[in-house]
Amino acid sequence: MKLLASYLSGAWSAGSGSRIALVNPATEAGLAEVHDGGHDLAAAVGHARAAGLAELGRLSFAERGALLAGLAKAVHGAREELIALAVGNGGNTRSDAKFDIDGGALTLSHYAELGAKLGAARLLGDGEPIQVGRTARMAGQHVWARRSGVAVHINAFNFPGWGLCEKLASALLAGMPVIAKPATATALVAHRLVELFAPLLPAGALQLLVGPAGGLLDVLGSGDVVAFTGGGATARTLRAHPAIIERGVRLNVEADSLNAAVLAPDVDLASETFALFLVDVVRDMTQKTGQKCTAIRRVLVPDDRLGDVADALRERLARFVVGDPAHDGVTMGPLATAQQHRDVRAQIARLAGETEAIWGGTGEVEPVGVPARTGFFVGPVVRATRAPMTCAALHAHEIFGPVMTLGSYAGDAKFAAEFVARGDGCLVSAAYSDDRDWVTRFARSAAPWTGRLYLGSSKMASQSPGPGTALPSLVHGGPGRAGGGEELGGERGLHLYMQRCALEGDASVLKALIGA
């Protein structure tokens, strides 16, 4: 079986120790193995700080942007191969795989264009000069300067392509070298991407660690950054690590999220807004088998619409064919890992104790294209609660699978915002309405509880990507349970990898420093 190697200190090396298997989650067939250690991680960090930092420091934003454009082109060139890897190793349908791979290429291209716009600058200006002396001669100017260390990117299993590319794009454009650590279970896509990217980048700019992180954080120091995407429990372990609490390593966390969607009382069942709501909810339940950090988990609809919404969901979900995504006609694949399968089944059982079945019972399914009792399958599940504000199983645990819970309300915008807030901090939440007064009341109260607020309406329906799509131009991250981190958002995405510094001095010197 193929043994995946890490790319560290300028060479591919398989490491040593016990072997961990990567499997096809539909068939459970082994695909590859990785060793669980045996790498000189201090040397890899040293290589990034010496070679990578120096090489990237010689380049302007425009030149680094040109490198990103080359990476985007490489993704396009290997698109079919990457899609096949995602179908085999991630349980993705072809459409799921395209979402991951094309999303990665789009994000690289976005940051390539930003690099071209930022041009020859070395420091990024932040706001206007401020007079701090008696005359305008004595000035202050905030600037962003790249951090002097390595960016460690720890990613979740669900987006091995996009996850690697989105973090890489911001860090490289800011000028920081990267060590990428994909989730082990689905590392094949990330591994292939680094095989493609490494020859296109300066020495030390990109390294790859496959397998467990081991002692990687132990060798980090104050100039370094860790950008983590994954579960809240792992995030808690990282937050308590001495690198973070004692040595001042900057940590960005993207974690669990109980994203909500609310249907406002003005929405007619025959309207475009309702159609958009339905498409978004069903897409989020089933795309990537519900394993999207941005997926809608909690839905609130007006009391008098509950029955109709439940019927519409039943009608849509009945069309889904669950099975091995390598088979024609399959529209939803398995969960990505055996652990995910156990977790999701246990969490559905807990939710079922407090809710009623609307569709899919507790996820039992007979998958197409695989022998009985093979693969990590669960069918789409819709549950309903009569107590949307107090249902503990609904607001306390993210079920990272094709599961959604419906509740109903009288239509009050503030109540709807409070429902969003019960998630304790979301990556994204959505409201569907054509009533501007209702939307205003809702948005003012809900905005502090969510990193992104998607306002679905008839006017934008035809061009909406849906709330589940993280865009490179808008920030991705959320407060509270969602981790409190922030990525992307155009130029804002660079700031994680840069230090804001308040320059104070002669106004003309400050002006020259930012190239104004």
Q: Is 172 exposed, middle or buried (0-12, 13-18, 19+ CB in 10 A)?
A: buried
The answer to the question of residue 60 lying near ligand NAP (CB under 6 A) is no
Strand partners, 23: 30
* 55 in catalytic set: no
Q: Which of 277, 400, 432, 438 binds ligand NAP (CB under 6 A)?
A: 400
The Cα 380–Cα 286 span in angstroms is 7
CB of 293 to ligand NAP, least distance (A): 3
By CB under 6 A, which span of 38-46, 69-77, 180-188, 498-506 interacts with ligand NAP?
180-188
Strands (E), 39-86: none
Residue 239: enclosing H or E segment and its boundaries?
Answer: helix 232-239
The Cα 394–Cα 424 span in angstroms is 12
Number of chain positions touching ligand NAP (CB under 6 A): 26
Angle between helices 162-174 and 94-118 (to 10 degrees): 10
* 391 in catalytic set: no
Dihedral of CA atoms 70, 76, 82, 83 in degrees, nearest 10, equals 150
CB of 309 to ligand NAP, least distance (A): 25
CB nearer ligand NAP, residue 70 or residue 212: 212
The Cα 384–Cα 423 span in angstroms is 17
The Cα 398–Cα 255 span in angstroms is 10
The answer to the question of residue 184 lying near ligand NAP (CB under 6 A) is yes
The residue number with the shortest CB distance to ligand NAP is 230
Mode of pairing for the β-strands spanning 6-8 and 11-13: antiparallel
What are the φ and ψ backbone dihedral angles of 253, each rounded to 5 degrees? -120, 125
By CB under 6 A, which span of 50-58, 94-102, 121-129, 152-160 interacts with ligand NAP?
152-160
CB of 485 to ligand NAP, least distance (A): 7
CB of 383 to ligand NAP, least distance (A): 19
The Cα 26–Cα 94 span in angstroms is 14
CB of 358 to ligand NAP, least distance (A): 23
123 is written with which tokens? 């420091």
Give the number of other Cβ atoms within 10 Å of residue 358's Cβ. Answer: 20
Residues whose CB falls within 8 Å of the CB of residue 381, separated by 6 or more in sequence, listed in order: 348, 359, 360, 361, 362, 363, 401, 402, 403, 404
CB nearer ligand NAP, residue 201 or residue 482: 482
CB of 197 to ligand NAP, least distance (A): 18
The answer to the question of residue 154 lying near ligand NAP (CB under 6 A) is yes
Binding mask 218-257 for ligand NAP (x = CB under 6 A): -----------xxx--x--xx---------------xxxx
The answer to the question of residue 23 lying near ligand NAP (CB under 6 A) is no
The answer to the question of residue 166 lying near ligand NAP (CB under 6 A) is no
The answer to the question of residue 403 lying near ligand NAP (CB under 6 A) is no
DSSP 436-460: HHHHHHHHHHHGGGEEEEEEE-TTT
Q: Is 223 exposed, middle or buried (0-12, 13-18, 19+ CB in 10 A)?
A: middle
Selection from 293, 285, 261 nearest residue 380 by Cα: 285
Residue of 293, 391, 398, 487 marked catalytic: 293
CB nearer ligand NAP, residue 100 or residue 256: 256
Q: Which of 71, 183, 299, 332 binds ligand NAP (CB under 6 A)?
A: 183
Counted residue by residue, the chain has a size of 516
CB nearer ligand NAP, residue 47 or residue 181: 181
Task: Return the residues of window 407-436 that contact ligand NAP according to CB under 6 A.
Answer: 427
The answer to the question of residue 293 lying near ligand NAP (CB under 6 A) is yes
How far is CA 113 from its chain centroid?
Answer: 21
CB nearer ligand NAP, residue 139 or residue 255: 255
CB nearer ligand NAP, residue 57 or residue 232: 232
CB nearer ligand NAP, residue 248 or residue 307: 248
42 is written with which tokens? 């201090």
Exposure string over 292-324, b if 16+ CB within 10 A, otherwise e: bbbbbbbbbbbeebbeebbebbeebbeebebbb
The answer to the question of residue 398 lying near ligand NAP (CB under 6 A) is yes
The answer to the question of residue 155 lying near ligand NAP (CB under 6 A) is yes
Residue of 166, 254, 398, 486 marked catalytic: 254
The Cα 441–Cα 428 span in angstroms is 18
Task: Return the residues of window 254-273 that contact ligand NAP according to CB under 6 A.
Answer: 254-257
Residues that bind ligand NAP (CB under 6 A): 154-158, 181, 183-185, 212-213, 229-231, 234, 237-238, 254-257, 293, 398, 400, 427, 482
Just list the catalytic residues: 254, 293
